[in-house]
Amino acid sequence: MSLQKKNIRELTLEELRGFFIEHKHPIFRAKQVYEWLWKKSVSSFSEMRNVSKEIIDLLNEAFVIQHLQITESQKSVDRTIKSAFKLFDDNNVEGVLIPTKSRMTACISSQVGCSLSCKFCATGKLDRLRNLNADEMYDQVFMLNELAQKNYQQKLSNIVYMGMGEPLLNYRNVISSIEKITSNDGLGMSPKRITVSTAGIAKLIKKLGDDEVKFNLALSLHAANDKKRDYIMPINEQNSLESLKEAIIYFYEKTGTRLTYEYIIFKGFNDEITDAIELAQFARITPCKINIIEYNQIDDGEFQQAKREKVDAFVNYLESKNLIVNVRRSRGKDIDAACGQLANKLVKS
């Protein structure tokens, strides 16, 4: 790839219009090209069928389209599909299509690897190589939507930023990708159908509030006790539960959006009623819902899944405190596509 060539999808529509004016072409050409780039997500300029060869040659001289490729997909017995995406620089990430009776969800990645080193997560064992660009996150959604239609004759209903990486450490690009996904120039999805999941970075949760975002926010909590959370999630050492409380209250006051707490329940670590009491006390700070998540085994992992009777007692206690609780059964475990299992195992050496 020539160093002089810019990724064309980094341009706004106005910048693209300026390019065509500069090269003495009609301004409406910009809108045509923009639609091919986003609504149709073409991988080459030659696919733009209503654009002249002269313009295609001009675009090829000035720009590249840094498009993703699906190099491999696996289908689970529960119909979940995990795909490996090859990026323009030969790095790889994974995304997951999760079909249920009521939803068709795309779980996408925001970084190549991750820097947070959470003890229960396979991605946390990888190095963080770089942030994904907005168009790379958009492409994951676009391509998983195509997979959904091809395999299940349904379009996506929901998007979760819960794949590889910490979305808030790629703040600008994540926000930009959501703006494009929700735009009429893009996929036109409702922001209320999008959830961004964070391990908990207090100042950036506040920034989401300042930006008055319309999408949903989920916090990977997993322990409402600083000592336990420090052990499994090193990020808690700089973002204590007290600082997260302050940020969550601020976010709710600014957006009015009810937060979701994600709580993976580990055998003998955070599965006692005393843990449920701590979680209930933490969760009272704003309206919320709680997702209790099965632990999914990873290579060299030190944790085990909690026993069913422990999970039931934990959930019953939370519900007795009038909290909204959902127990999330894992999807795609047999192909390492479940929560915490994404580690580029699909990528062939």
What is the set of active-site residues? 94, 339
Q: What is the DSSP letter of 189?
A: -
Other CB atoms within 10 Å distance of the CB of residue 130: 13
What is the distance in angstroms between the CA of the first residue and the CA of the last residue of the chain? 23
Q: What pLDDT is attached to residue 174?
A: 98
Pair of tokens at residue 128: 């963080």
Instruction: Name the residue with tokens 């975002």.
Output: 213
Q: Rounded to an integer, what is the distance from CA 21 to the centroid of its chain? A: 37
Gap between the Cα atoms of 223 and 220, Å rounded: 9
| 69-335 is classed CATH 3.20.20.70 | yes
Asked if 198 and 213 touch (Cβ cutoff 8 Å), the reply is no
Fold of the CATH domain 6-64:
DNA polymerase; domain 1 (1.10.150)
- Residue 66: is it exposed, middle or buried by C-beta count within 10 angstroms (0-12/13-18/19+)? buried
Q: What pLDDT is attached to residue 347?
A: 47
Q: What pLDDT is attached to residue 349?
A: 32
Q: What is the DSSP letter of 127?
A: P
Strands, E, within the chain: which ranges? 6-7, 63-64, 69-75, 81-86, 92-99, 104-107, 111-112, 130-131, 158-161, 194-198, 216-220, 259-265, 288-294, 324-328
Pair of tokens at residue 274: 């005393």
Is the CA virtual torsion 52, 54, 58, 64 positive or negative? positive
Q: What pLDDT is attached to residue 190?
A: 98
Q: For the chain, what are the domain ranges?
A: 6-64, 69-335
Gap between the Cα atoms of 11 and 279, Å rounded: 45
Same-fold call for 6-64 versus 69-335? no
Asked if 341 and 164 touch (Cβ cutoff 8 Å), the reply is no
Pair of tokens at residue 270: 């955070």
One-letter amino acid of 286: T
Asked if 7 and 63 touch (Cβ cutoff 8 Å), the reply is yes
Q: What pLDDT is attached to residue 119?
A: 84
Q: What pLDDT is attached to residue 313?
A: 97
Mean pLDDT in order along the chain per 10 residues (349 residues): 79 97 96 96 96 96 96 92 95 95 95 88 80 98 97 97 96 98 96 97 98 98 97 96 98 98 95 98 98 79 87 97 89 57 48
Q: What pLDDT is attached to residue 125?
A: 73
